[in-house]
Chain A
Amino acid sequence: MAAGMALILGVVKVINLSHGAFFTLGAYVAYALAERGVGTPLAAASLAAVIAFAFGVFLGKSFVNPVRSHPFALPVGTLACALLFEQAAQMVWGPHPLSIEADAPWIGPGGLVVRRWGVIAFLSSATLLGGLQWILSARPGLPLRLIAEDEEIAGSLGMDVETIRYLTFGGACAMAAAAGALLSPSGAVTPTMGRAPLLLSLVVVIVAGMDSVPTIFLLSIGLGIFGNACAWFLSPQWSYIALLAAVCLLLSARPEGIVALSGRRD
């Protein structure tokens, strides 16, 4: 989800506050499939990605591209889209939490708990991010890199910048929906469930910087471990505060993001 947000920030150059809504959409798609006896997370993630891509392309073409020259209109507009989706989800599925039955975990040596959905989600996101990293570093990703660097030069070289922008937007929305579908067995599915991941994704993208997919991946895992460590050693209630405080400290020290810290960003 964070990688998708970074992609939108880098290529389309907007803060997409409707990203959490696509995460929610993915979870509802997984629930709808599970209700019909299709409990395979990969099937749910694939279908959710296709649906979210279509919605994302529509949103990118009809709203984001025309409005993106107005910097304040886009965050407000995408936030409005997210709220609209939450209301629509409430009307379709109801405001009550829904839940997907998760398979029993595998208990390893020393009481190690290995969740099936957790393994699938981890491997899927690693594959997805690996693929994204390959695309960005190889020839197919050249237009994205060029647009991220300088749109005018990309346009002067004959690239269809507008089309690439809304396709990128759709692809990033598909990644968020896939994440929602893969993580849906972990908890309850509600219309507002995308809000917390949206905030955490923003944190990850801002702290990691928008250029490095591996940094985003590692930072996502690192922040999760840090939050749980704070909950264990301090108090569960302090985990969120400690996490946000650490992010504030890091940003005040290096506003450019963590990648600049390692010298990869000029």
Chain B
Amino acid sequence: MMLLSLRWTSLIPEHRAHEESRLLMSPQAAVIADNPHLGVSPAALRVEGLSKTFPGTRGLIDAAIEIRPGEVHALVGQNGSGKSTLIKTLAGYHMPDPGALAEIAGEPFALGETVPEDLRFVHQDLGLVLELSAMDNLALRGGFIRGRAGRIRWREQERETYRILDRFDVELDIHRPLAEATPVQRTVVAIAGALQGWHGGRGVLVLDEPTAVLPHDEVERLLAMVREVRRSGTSVLYVSHRLDEIFEIADRVTVLRAGRVVRTLPVADVDHRSLAQLMVGTDVDPDYRAPVADRPDSPVVLELRDVHGRRLHGLSLQVHRGEILGVAGLPGDGVQELPYALAGHARHPVRGEIRLPQRSSAWSELADARQLGIPLVPADRAHEAIVSEFTVRENLTLSVLDRIGSRGRLDAAAEQGLVARWTERLAVVAASAEVPVSTLSGGNQQKVVLARCLARDPELLVLAEPTAGVDVGTRVAIYELIAGLARDGLTVIVSSSDLGDLLAMCTRIVVLRDGRVGAELGAEGLTEHELVNAIEGERSAHGANNATQ
């Protein structure tokens, strides 16, 4: 099963001028050129001349998109390219600049004012009430079946819930709170909820980054769901960062760049490389590897001994100075738990010992690892890293406040200087350091979080999912940054479900299996296929072994 695949991540600084000129032809022309049906049957959704101006920036410039009945239409672009502005305008959150035209199944509607019944959304956060059951969540959207005096007819409601969920192959206790369900089960409920009340396949379903929070082995199940929706005749607008999904699922793809529609074209006409190139405007090398230095003879800077936790069962590890150690594995194997345990912020109690030989030869309890002050870039940026009410400056200095000024008093000039230095080093793109951090794109927010950790001048850095929700260009910038720091002696531990991350920057990869180091791979010459085998293939062999015992 090729469930894991590489996200396309790299750039070669080479410019192809003739490509560029072809790509920048007017969006309408591109749509018309690619659409022989125009004017024959009404499009499921058509938007033209859509611009949106924000204070200081233009989110969308004369964008046009056309979705045919029964197609899966992918929408791709880097962070800040205007994808979410387009989706939010369709969903009525944003008011577009005057002059935009929109129609659904031939019926015009006012963008930003009305949201037609036949246009439905599953947003990235799914919009579910996790404290309530699947049945309640579906009924909250579709309406409860009520008897006299407003009494809910629970038995009929239950039957209706099973009927709605039936078309998707999902096993789920519809009475338990969704908080207990897996991410993919929640996604099923959200999609089923959005489709309620449609019969005979009509309308357009917008899926905004549906796989962003899914573990990689569950992506396939989601794609099967999308196929099921298409089979019924409903069109899907599929927004995703992961290009491999688009090749697997989409019929046509619209590429956004800098607020403009670069092109709309059939997926069959592009490959990974050319699609990524349309997105970033420069050539892309799928085999990108950040220039890292392998240094097996450097001293050990981190040792773990017999670590136990919720998913970890007896893990031991040694990391050398200047290494970039990748941690891979399936979701249940402790890959997500390890980085938090190292930073002293594990959600479940951990046992085991940790030692930083460069600082002290004594072992200390991993449960007290917080005192070691190992900085962590958390996996969930919005909830665990960014203080969205704070400015860029306040977010960046949050971990180094004790170094700015003296005796608790903050020195404003010192703080501004530090922020200016780091935003420049990491090339953070922001209107100023005083704007709310929430106005930055995901990639730039991630750079701010990285800067927060690096400003402490650490000898050790832990990254969890460092490129989740980060666009291709920024991703490469992050790889090169980390590689450069490692060459100068920083030791980095990266845990990621994105194999592209691990392949692009690690010097060594450990594959966790059942909470222990199951395999160790040198990064030199390692291919994606070998890594996938190490994670998945041997897992099944391992399972078979267990079965025969």
Chains A and B come from one and the same complex: no
Query: Which residues of B are at the interface with A, using a C-beta cutoff of 8 A?
Result: none
Query: Which residues of A are at the interface with B, using a C-beta cutoff of 8 A?
Result: none
